[in-house]
Amino acid sequence: MIRIFLSAFFLLLFGQVYSQINFVNKAGIAGINHTYPIHMGAGGVSFVDFDGDGLDDLSLGTGPTESIHFYRNLGGSFQKIFLVQTSALIKSVLWADFDNDGDKDLFAVGFDDHNHLWENQGNLNLVEITDAAGLPMTIKRCYGANFADVNRDGWLDLYYAERKAAGEMTDNQMRLFLNNADGTFTDATDEWNAGDVGKTPFCATFFDCNNDKWPDLYIANDKATINTLLVNTGNAFEDKSDTSGTALAMNSMCVAISDFDKNSYTDIYVTNTEEGGALLVNEDGNSFSEQAGALGVSFAGGIGWGSSFIDADNDTWEDLYISGMIGGSDVLSSAFYQNSLGTFLPDMAQGFVGDTVTSFGNAIGDYNNDGFADIIVSNWPPAKAQLWSNETQTDNHWVKVELEGVLSNRDGIGAKVCVYPLDSDYTCHYTTCGIGFLGQNSTQLMFGLGSSTEIDFIEVTWPTGHIDMIMNPEIDQLHSVLEGSTTDGVIEVDDDITIVTDVQIEYPTFETLDIFPNPGSSQVFIQAYDKGVIDIIDVNGKYLRSMRIEGSLLDVSFLPDGIYFLKTRSGKVGKFVKS
């Protein structure tokens, strides 16, 4: 990564003091040992907690000689575990609760292979159901994938980029499969006008470009086959590329999203070859202007692949990180652009020592739970995957939000979460499942608070249209939000959607789970339950967090005194008093 050093005069000119952003590669120390065989675009990277213990795990796509790498987070270090057997080039790797049963299922995209869907039948017992779920078993060359609830019926649908196999006389296209809410999917590509046929797609990302709560799409197409903006009308997508100013002809690799300028509309970044990437600034929900060059983030001269927006110093403004394909210390191999009140400064980050290799996909999470966003990057050999640990020194505060839908899909994909600190700028995030180039960010949404020591409120607008508001939440911690938890379990649903699920909030009863000592103070023993995940719910029925239990012992020392319900994923519930 080429470094640009700024003078004190330059900093004074901008009239703002910046935290010294610093990232250090901790992959080897943390137990990550991964590389992807030399193949166009490398493999997918997921920073999602796949075992439900509250810690961000890692999943990395692999080549045909080894299965997908899964790394369970042990609390700042990782243990490689085996979950599924694969024997092809794996591109996107996504964890999503497509069947709304409370645990994450797995989808993996195959290259010169069919795609794969595994159902999590509990405790990471993954059973492949691709054919039974009605998904194609044909050999293709697919890349990016996403889950989103396109019709807002409460169930996650599947979307992916499909390129034809070698020698195949068909067109490339995107594919959309609607979730039937019974463990199967139906191809709705044509019905929803979602195919974008005849182009060269790499990846797409769902976002709400016009703030109408319907998930829209931006598709990154390679070989100057024109990028596409598909706007969701409620029962189909309408191509708005030409009228919106987003029909770019470039060698597009990825789609990253952020309201980087805080005008309440989501913007788009797309990587490219040496000509430079594009920053599509969303002006009003209907029109975009390309400003990468004007704002100094074009990455011109490099070959960009993965990009991610990340508030590295928790100042409430999202910065931009780009992984590049050209390796070497004297070339533009990667870049970090710091956001200054909606504009970008040249690369001010320290560290990133060794970020000069051939890199592709990246994703954002918080592997050590310190409230500062970290980055995982997939590389070509001889380089190993890099885990860029955020070592930034700052007094800025933070908060994390994790969602659980009730009438919305269980993962809360498609929700918009806004955090309003008392003394700093607000920040909003749109929840996705699949972003950047073959990436999946943590499901724990991270928000910088700047110097604020209080939060006025957190606002969650769910795919149902329901709004939950968490008033005066504590800073520097994770808040888990259950849909309807701030409205006494009443969930308002927009008139223009139909919810398929009949799930309602059920406040727990307490006959079946034996807990002692009860009352307890630091640890409790849960009889006949020695391994798995426990959900902790407060006396008002509000979901607080999930924790992994080993040997029947559960740490409750962090809980304030009060009454709680402990619930297993099989539905057993017990009442517990912390004192």
Under DSSP, the state recorded for 507 is: P
Element (H, E) at 13: helix 8-14
Instruction: Please give the radius of gyration of the chain, using alpha carbons only, rounded to the nearest integer.
Output: 23
Residues contacting 338, CB < 8 A, separation 6+? 18, 21, 312, 313, 319, 344, 345, 347, 348, 349
pLDDT confidence of residue 65: 92
Torsion angle (degrees, nearest 10) of CA 486, 483, 542, 512: 140
Instruction: Retrieve residue 427's tokens.
Output: 């920040």
- Residue 257's nearest CA partner among 316, 216, 314, 301 is 216
Instruction: List pLDDT tens digits, range 269-321.
Output: 999 999 999 999 999 999 999 999 999 999 999 999 999 999 999 999 999 99
pLDDT confidence of residue 430: 98
The arithmetic mean of pLDDT across residues 11-23, rounded, is 61
Report yes or no: 305 and 253 within 8 Å, Cβ to Cβ: yes
556 vs 266, residue with greater confidence: 266
345 vs 377, residue with greater confidence: 377
What is the maximum alpha-carbon separation in the chain? 69
Task: Please tell me the distance from the alpha carbon of residue 71 to that of residue 79, in angstroms, as a whole number.
Answer: 5
Task: Please tell me the distance from the alpha carbon of residue 358 to that of residue 489, in angstroms, as a whole number.
Answer: 50
**E-assigned strand segments in 358-411:** 359-365, 374-379, 386-390, 397-404
Task: Please tell me the distance from the alpha carbon of residue 98 to that of residue 109, in angstroms, as a whole number.
Answer: 16
Instruction: Retrieve residue 396's tokens.
Output: 């800025």
Whether the per-residue pLDDT at 549 is higher than 80: the answer is no
Instruction: List pLDDT tens digits, range 325-349.
Output: 999 999 999 999 999 999 998 766 6
Task: Please tell me the distance from the alpha carbon of residue 119 to that of residue 129, in angstroms, as a whole number.
Answer: 7
Complete edge-to-edge strand list for the sheet that includes strand 445-450: 445-450, 397-404, 478-482
The arithmetic mean of pLDDT across residues 503-522, rounded, is 65
pLDDT confidence of residue 508: 39
Report yes or no: 257 and 277 within 8 Å, Cβ to Cβ: no
Whether the per-residue pLDDT at 353 is higher than 70: the answer is yes
Whether the per-residue pLDDT at 527 is higher than 50: the answer is yes
- The class level of CATH for 397-482 reads mainly beta
Task: Please tell me the distance from the alpha carbon of residue 484 to that of residue 467, in angstroms, as a whole number.
Answer: 8
The arithmetic mean of pLDDT across residues 212-223, rounded, is 98
Do the domains 397-482 and 515-578 sit in the same CATH topology, yes or no? yes
Under DSSP, the state recorded for 560 is: P
Task: Please tell me the distance from the alpha carbon of residue 209 to that of residue 194, in angstroms, as a whole number.
Answer: 16
Q: What number of CA atoms fall less than 13 Å from residue 120's CA on the CB side?
A: 22
Report yes or no: 269 and 309 within 8 Å, Cβ to Cβ: yes
Instruction: List pLDDT tens digits, range 177-186.
Output: 999 999 999 9
pLDDT confidence of residue 566: 83
Respond yes or no on whether the N-terminal peptide bond of residue 517 is cis (omega within 30° of 0).
yes
Report yes or no: 39 and 438 within 8 Å, Cβ to Cβ: no
The CATH number that domain 23-390 falls under is: 2.130.10.130
Q: Is 198 exposed, middle or buried (0-12, 13-18, 19+ CB in 10 A)?
A: exposed
Helix (H, G, I), strand (E, B) or coil at 12: helix
Whether the per-residue pLDDT at 14 is higher than 50: the answer is no
Helix (H, G, I), strand (E, B) or coil at 512: coil
Task: Please tell me the distance from the alpha carbon of residue 390 to that of residue 371, in angstroms, as a whole number.
Answer: 9
What is the b/e burial string over 477-505, where b = at least 16 CB atoms within 10 angstroms of the residue's CB? ebbbbbbbbbeebebebeeebebebebeb
Whether the per-residue pLDDT at 7 is higher than 90: the answer is no
Task: Please tell me the distance from the alpha carbon of residue 434 to that of residue 207, in angstroms, as a whole number.
Answer: 11
Q: In percent, how much of the chain has pLDDT > 70?
A: 92
Confidence class of residue 520 from pLDDT cuts 50, 70 and 90? confident
Instruction: Retrieve residue 120's tokens.
Output: 């999590």
Helix, strand, coil fractions of the chain, as percent rounded to 5: 5, 40, 55
26 vs 170, residue with greater confidence: 26
Instruction: List pLDDT tens digits, range 435-491.
Output: 999 999 999 999 999 999 999 999 999 999 999 999 999 999 999 999 999 988 888
- The class level of CATH for 515-578 reads mainly beta
Q: In whole numbers, what is the pLDDT of the chain averaged over residues? A: 91
User: pTM here?
Assistant: 0.86
CA angle 10, 14, 19 (to 5 degrees): 85
Q: Is 436 exposed, middle or buried (0-12, 13-18, 19+ CB in 10 A)?
A: buried
Give the 3-state secondary structure of 317-348. Answer: CCEEEEEECCCCCCCCCEEEEEEECCEEECCC
What are the boundaries of each domain within the chain?
Answer: 23-390, 397-482, 515-578
Residues contacting 392, CB < 8 A, separation 6+? 19, 20, 21, 22, 23, 312, 313, 372
Whether the per-residue pLDDT at 505 is higher than 60: the answer is no
- Residue 100's nearest CA partner among 147, 137, 48, 146 is 147
